[in-house]
Amino acid sequence: MICEVTSGAIHSALNILTSVTNPRSFSVEARNILLKACDGKLRMSSTDMYVWMQYDVDANVQEIGSVVVPAREFQALVNNLPDIALRLQTQPHQWGLQFLIEFATGKYRLLAYDGNEFPQWEIFKHLKALEDTGAVYGFEIDTAKLASAMRKVMFVASMDLSQGVYAGVHLQKDADTSMLDVVATDGYRLAKITLQAVDLPELTVTIPARSLKHALPLLEKFSPMMMVVDSGVVGWLVDTCEIYFRPLGQHYVAYQRVIPQQWAGEVAVNRDAMLTTLRRMWNVLNADTRTKLKRVELELREYDLTITAQTTLDGSGYETVGQEHLKVDWRSEPSEFRVALQCRYLLEFFNVVRDTNVVLCLQDDPTRPVLFYPASDPSFIYLVMPLQPVAKKD
């Protein structure tokens, strides 16, 4: 393999591709970058065995070929070069191949592997088989808007793949609707954003959240992109970049059924005031190592919201370690409500929201779900199961 490229182009590609490589992995594929020179471009590929990325950069290809190079060493070298012309080529070596990187004032060699001996990734075999049979379909989508929605809900999803669909972000568009739901849940809370998607076909797919965190910068950078969906692969691609995942195959939870349609009370609270209060309470609660349960109680009386930080005492009661009062604006008839929630659940949501005010929707029963949404964007909802009420001590 012999080709000429600019270090700036390689630098940009490696910053994206190395986000999924792992130099400590036992897998050869996960530690290295696959380079393939052909058709006037250098195709660079990487994987962590959960997400697969390909990125093309323009190149003057003088001899086609492929090589596998160590990701960390290659990136460290390129990152310390100015934007200059590079000549990349492979040469025989007693232990296989060496990868030669030459520029005007110097050259470096890295031990490498023959790209033809590199294992062909199963996901691309699967995709090629689908293309040959016509079983795969694709459609264009505004990935910047989609990425923004997925960023807002993925804090709910687990990063542990053993949790099944609770470790994913679910995309669903039914045939009889023009709306796309972007959903994440861990079984105790649920975040959902609804997007206008008139031109999209029917869609149901759950993407692992740990893979999405690598993909979101690409989706924002190259929007719009072509989306490819099948039971065994989901991906986004443009002319210069492709990214693929294996979706979570289990059926997703029936999330529509758990969202109440009516509320006993609705009240708006200032987001910044609530967030700073929750941060102070989290710092106090987190210092208590006796319990993992960091509990806050919300009590509404007329136009006052009392927020109380509580630690449990042997399961029989609680101890108040902090209390603050905030003003609220009722959107329904003022009434009295009291509900207890996990502090972390509230803190994560208010960290994501950027609106001035957040609306809190409550039910008469303090054991029923509580819903939050940004005052100016009711399409973004956050549903939380409350903690069991604890009787106050005298």
- CA-based R_g, the chain, Å: 26
The answer to whether position 394 is within a domain reads no
- Residue where a domain terminates, one of 93, 117, 141: 117
Cβ distance 89 to 35 under 8 Å? no
pLDDT over threshold 80, residue 393:
no
User: Which residues face 90 on adjacent strands?
Assistant: 99
Give residue 289's pLDDT band: very low, low, confident or very high (50, 70, 90).
confident
80 within a domain of the structure (yes/no): yes
The verdict on 51 and 171 lying in the same domain is no
pLDDT for the residue numbered 394: 45
Asked whether residue 217 falls in the same domain as residue 272, the answer is no
Q: What is the CATH number of the domain that holds 29?
A: 3.10.150.10
Q: How far apart are CA 142 and CA 387, in angstroms?
A: 38
Q: Is residue 179 part of a domain?
A: yes
Among 100, 117, 134, residue at a domain's last position: 117
The yes-or-no verdict on residue 73 having pLDDT over 70 is: yes
Point out which residues pair with 191 in neighbouring strands: 184, 382
Pair 204, 167 in one domain: yes
Domain count, the chain: 3
Angle at 239 between CA 237 and CA 241, to 5 degrees: 50
Q: Domain check: are 138 and 246 in the same one?
A: yes
Residue 268 and residue 359 share a domain: yes
Select from 234, 233, 222 the least CA-distant residue to 56.
222
Integer Cα distance of 369 and 264 in angstroms: 12
Domain contains 308:
yes
Render pLDDT for 336-388 as a digit per residue (tens, 0 to 9): 999 999 999 999 999 999 999 999 999 999 999 999 999 999 999 999 999 98
- For residues 26 and 127, state if they share a domain: no
- Give the residue numbers spanning the domain of 353: 260-384
Residues 128 and 207 in one domain: yes
Position 389 in a domain: no
Whole-prediction pTM = 0.87
Higher pLDDT residue, 156 or 286? 156
| Same domain, yes or no: 16 and 92 | yes
Which residue, 241, 257, 273, sits at the end of a domain?
A: 257
| Together in a domain, 249 and 131 | yes
Together in a domain, 166 and 188: yes
- Domain assignment present for residue 392? The answer is no
Q: Please check whether residue 143 lies inside any domain of the structure.
A: yes
* 246 and 278 within one domain: no
